Structure 1
Amino acid sequence: MGLLGLCLAPSTLVGLYASGHVGERVRSEATEHLLDVSAQIAGMLDVGMHERWRDMTLVASMINAQGSLDRADDLRDQFETLKRNVPIYAWIGAAETDGRVVASSQRLLEGADVSARPWFRAGTQAPFAGDLHEALLLARTLPPNPNGEPLRFVDIAMPLVRKDGVPLGVLGAHLSWSWANEVAGSVLGRSGGGKPDMDAFVLSREGVVLMGPQDLQGRKLELASVRAGVQGVAKSVQEVWPDGRTYFTAVSPTRGEGDYRGLGWVVLVRRDADATLADVSALQHRILFASLAAALAALMAGWVWAGRLSRPMQALAGAARRLSQGDLATPVPPTRAFAEATSLSASLVRLSMTLDAQRTPAATVEKPVSASREPAAP
């Protein structure tokens, strides 16, 4: 048991060191992966908003070139074409300077007064992107969400101005917030995520949950990761959430794209730490088991090889012992196990022959015959 422990101890220590190193590496890669996923989602949200911003800029440019909002049918056709090609548009419309909608997709809200809406007021001054909000006027006309959540939109508005600088009104659009969920879902799917213990969030510039689990929507998250994100810092940490559970969390701020300056959204991705650590623990156990198995296999191989080496030597040692006791008839076992054993066997054979020769008379000595005395003559 002492020899076994002596042989297994180094392998166990190496296995423990390797499993610990691998565990730390897996934790690091897990947080890096989350940070990469959050950055991808943030980038795709910026690109998507920039494309919609560009759409509205081009449409506004065409209306400004026409110089009036009188051709309502033509405007409506443009809006319908854009909405058909880009389904995330829930509504596109043009309102005159008094806030009356003169043309819109599907004729929704035509004739309605939108002068009190934030997007209209802001759009009379400059290009505008509005943060997420629930539908008010459109809630009565659009079909409800299949998942039962309230309709929520992001607004884009562009001022309409003639070439001579005379205001024409405002071009506005409501973007369905469902596209953000689709963006997050596509990134999680490509990244091997989409697991029950992996969630994606979109937070406002104040840290309020705009997209995420329903029980957290509308709540402000007071977390170190969120504070870093709203300050424009990408970060990954392990932290305890309000539900008392520990998560690996990564945040990436959106930064805008081109002339779209962004809305200060923060993308957060989290994964349950217990699930990640369970994977690490399983990997560590496999490494330790593999180290012990390799040590045992090496020990068994060494034991077999040692037996092959020791058996010829033991036989030769027995023969040498019997020769030393005077048993010259002892046969010396021949062996070709390895060079040293072969040489020792040959030496013992020569020693046996030498001892045998020394104990045998060199020559046979005949006993002398006495001369017979002849009788005296009478």
Structure 2
Amino acid sequence: MRLPGLVDRISIRAQVMLATATLAIILVLSATIATALLGRRILSSITGNELTQLAEVMASRLDRGMFERYREIGTIAGLEMLRDVWERDPDTLRAVLDRMQFSYPDYAWIGYARKDGTVMAATKGMLEGASVAQRPWFMEGVQKAFAGDVHEALLLSKMLGPRTDSEPFRFVDVAYPVRNAAGEIIGVLGAHLSWDWATEVRQSLLIGESQTARADISILDSKGKVLLGRNLNSVMLTPQQLAMVRERPSGSGLAYGEDADQWLTGYAVGRGFRDYPGLDWLVIARLPVEVANRPVHELVGSILLIGIGLGIFGIAMARWLAGRVTRPIYRLSREADRIGRDAGVHTLPRVGGAREVMLLSQSLRSLLRRVGQAEHRLEEAEREAVAHEAETRELALDVERLRKLSETDPLTGLLNRRAFLATAERQVAYARRYDRALAVVVGDIDHFKRVNDTHGHAAGDAVIRAVASRLQTAARDTDLVARFGGEEFVVLLMESDITAAVSYAERARGLISAAPVQSETGAQVSVTLSLGCTILSPDDRDVQDAIDRADDALYSAKAAGRNRVRVSLHVLQDGGAAAAI
């Protein structure tokens, strides 16, 4: 049977319905397949990038955490005030190390060993008197600064006692040589950092409802051995993969594990931070393909349901519209069939057509006129909206400028008293909530009135700006530096005990006194700064109490001859690290 003959026997309504149903099926299937293929490709790329970013964040946090410990051990090893303590006063040295461990509990052990390898002082007295001469951290640390990879320490593990889980104690080593006043190496200050710290960093990144919060994160050393994650202590990468990772320190698509085709992977290599050289730890973040593609599957199911619903609705609408279109034709055909059969029928009735077309054209012309008027009104509204948006943006800029003027010191650009106190109170609340150390340093320029009287107020302003700049240079990004007025400055040090505060104060004092300030007239003005230090106390009502104690220590520094650092009496009475300062 020929197809034209079949089509001739099917009504227009049925043909329209059949064509609509076929088109709906084709469109729904095409949209579903395209969505599935394109969605999986795009989602795989996005997920790979997100996993790479997750691995990069993990690697960065590990490097920054090691940098902080690396710097802390180096700072303690080089403190001038401990020169006479290393060999002569083990009790005071032990107190300093215990206080340091208390400030950062992830230090499992900190100890000082003489040049012959005998441990002279250590946290909680562990390993004192024992020889560590054959330990890698000592052999390397007696020559230069050293950071060692993850390892177990059986003797120290026994002293630390049993763990709550079945995992062995594992540590990362940091060591620095200790020198006497003549610059000769007299021993090594070493620390064992608990590897549980890395687990805590990993857990902090896997919090929330995002897809990457369900990722699996592993840490491997430079030889491909698993340090943290599944298959612990197993070598999971081939030499070719390690070579690829060295050439491209971060990316996605690394085949990892026996079921690598069932996972999406991102990786990043830690390259160190600042003067911490890094241990080339490889962080691998993985997410099951099934989990990653779940949104695509849900989207495909939704598209199918919506497509089926729209297809049924479209078929019903096509049937109704086809009836409206064919009804005049059926009427014409019936009337035409009567011609010649019915003697009273000689012509066709006026069924419509031209008049409807005319009415339709008139309606369309009227519609176009209305659309043109609406577009004109819309353009005017858009121009008014653009003008209003520009005015609003300018107003926002003015408000932002006023806010900055109200919170910063116009001479130095530092925070002013009001902005500092408001921010400091939030930091104090955070430190108390999470039991973090917080230190306050108050500084005052020595003989500042003499600078104004001798060189003029312009030179005085230049001195204040230079001191502010050097205080900011000595501080970290997380610290707050403010000018309280005149020649007085206040610094809030986050995550810092009294040892770190004194280290910062000495560093700032050295920067300020090292180079004179050149005034606008070309005069060289020598400047020194006296500083007072304290730490946040549980008894403090607010940060002002700590500032007052630091201010008292500042005046002690003034009374002792200026250009020096003093610690508040409150800290000295607590003993510990302060007793050695």
TM-score bracket for the superposition, by shorter chain length: 0.7 to 0.9
Is the 1:185–1:194 Cα contact (8 Å) retained in structure 2? no
* Cα separation, partners in 2 of 1:300 and 1:141, compared to 1, 3 Å: same
- Whether the aligned pair in 2 keeps the contact of 1:312 and 1:341 (CA below 8 Å) is no
Matched, 1:253 2:266: no
Letter in 2 for 1:104: A
Residue 44 of structure 2: aligned partner: 27
- Measured in 2, the distance between the counterparts of 1:225 and 1:189 equals 30
State the Cα distance separating 1:106 from its structure 2 match: 1.3
Q: 1:139 aligns with which of 151, 157, 164?
A: 157
Residue pair 1:46, 1:257 contacting (<8 A) in 2 also: yes
- Paired AA for residue 176 in structure 1: S
| Larger deviation, residues 179-188 vs 202-211 | 179-188
Which of residues 203, 206, 214 is equivalent to 2:223? Answer: 206
- Matched to 2:257, the amino acid is W
Question: Based on CA coordinates, which of the two structures has the bigger radius of gyration?
Answer: 1
Note closer, same or farther for the CA distance 1:194–1:123 as it changes in structure 2 (3 Å cut): same
> In 1, are the aligned partners of 2:254 and 2:265 still within 8 Å (CA)?
yes
CA contact (8 A) 1:202 1:268 kept: yes
User: Distance between the aligned counterparts of 2:256 and 2:304, measured in 1?
Assistant: 30
Cα gap change, 1:35 to 1:162, in 2 (>3 Å): same
Which residue type is aligned with residue 94 of structure 1? Y
Q: Higher relative contact order at CA 8 Å, sep ≥6: structure 1 or structure 2? A: 1
CA RMSD of aligned residues (A): 3.0
The DSSP-based 3-state class of the residue aligned with 2:79 is: helix
Indicate if the aligned counterparts of 1:236 and 1:251 stay in contact, CA closer than 8 A. yes
CA contact (8 A) 1:38 1:269 kept: yes
* Equivalent position to 1:47, from 58, 61, 64: 64
Tell me which residue corresponds to 1:98: 116
- The whole-number CA distance in structure 1 between the counterparts of 2:95 and 2:324 is 93
Partners of 1:316 and 1:152 lie apart in 2 by 94
Mapped contact 2:50–2:212 kept (Cα < 8 A): no
Match of 1:116 among 120, 123, 134: 134
Task: Tell me the equivalent position of 1:348.
Answer: none
Q: Quickly say closer, same or farther: Cα 1:272–1:18, change in 2 above 3 A.
A: closer
Give me the whole-angstrom Cα distance separating, in 1, the residues matched to 2:317 and 2:25.
14
State the partner residue of 1:170: 188
2:237 aligned with 1:219, yes or no?
no
Cα contact 2:178–2:188 (8 A) shared by 1: yes
Distance change >3 Å, CA 283–CA 147, structure 1 → 2? farther
Q: Which has the higher helix share?
A: 2
**1:181–1:97 CA distance, 2 compared to 1 (3 A):** same
Distance 1:7 1:140 in 2: 73
Note the residue ranges of structure 1 that are not aligned, 5 or more in a row: 344-378
Among 281, 302, 316, which residue is 1:300 paired with?
316
Deviation at 1:156, TM superposition (A): 0.2
Q: Summarize the Cα distance change of 1:276–1:208 in structure 2 as closer, same or farther, 3 Å threshold.
A: same
Give the counterpart letter for 2:202 in structure 1: A
Secondary structure of 1:20's aligned partner? helix
Could you tell me which residue of structure 1 aligns to residue 306 of structure 2?
290
* 1:66 paired residue number: 83
Shift in CA distance, 240/158, structure 1 to aligned 2, threshold 3 Å: closer
**Aligned partner of residue 38 in structure 2, secondary structure:** helix
For 1:306-321, what aligned pairs fall within 5 Å after superposition? 306-315=322-331, 317-319=333-335, 321=337
Note the C-alpha offset of 1:255.
Answer: 0.8
Q: Which moved more, 1:233-242 or 1:134-143?
A: 233-242
Taking structure 1 as the reference length, the TM-score comes to 0.79
| Residue type at the aligned position of 1:305 | L
2:107 to 66, 82, 89: 89
Query: 1:91 touches 1:173 (CA, 8 Å); kept in 2?
Result: yes
The Cα of 1:272 is off from its aligned counterpart by 2.3
Question: SS at 2:105's partner residue?
Answer: coil
Shift in alpha-carbon separation, 1:155–1:238, aligned structure 2, 3 A: closer
Cα distance, 1:315–1:333 mapped onto 2, change above 3 Å:
farther
- Counterparts in 2 of 1:244 and 1:204: CA distance versus 1, 3 Å: closer
What is the Cα deviation at residue 51 of structure 1? 0.8
1:211 Cα deviation from its structure 2 partner: 0.6
How far apart, in 1, do the equivalents of 2:274 and 2:324 lie? 77
Q: How far apart, CA to CA, are the structure 1 residues paired with 2:47 and 2:260? A: 21
- Equivalent AA in structure 2 for residue 219 of structure 1: S
Secondary structure of the residue that 2:181 maps to in structure 1?
coil
Distance 1:232 1:22 in 2: 27
Counterparts of 1:172 and 1:185, CA distance in 2: 27
Taking the aligned partners of 2:205 and 2:149, their CA distance within structure 1 comes to: 22
Q: Secondary structure at the match of 2:133?
A: coil
Runs of 4+ in 1 over 6 A off after TM superposition: 329-336
Distance 1:34 1:335, change over 3 A: same
How far the C-alpha of 1:86 sits from its partner, in A, is: 1.1
Q: Secondary structure at the match of 1:217?
A: coil
Structure 2 residue 292 is the aligned partner of structure 1 residue 276: yes
Q: 1:298 to 1:160 in 2, by over 3 A?
A: same
Aligned length: 338
User: How far does residue 314 in structure 1 lie from its aligned partner after superposition?
Assistant: 3.2
Report the identity percentage: 31
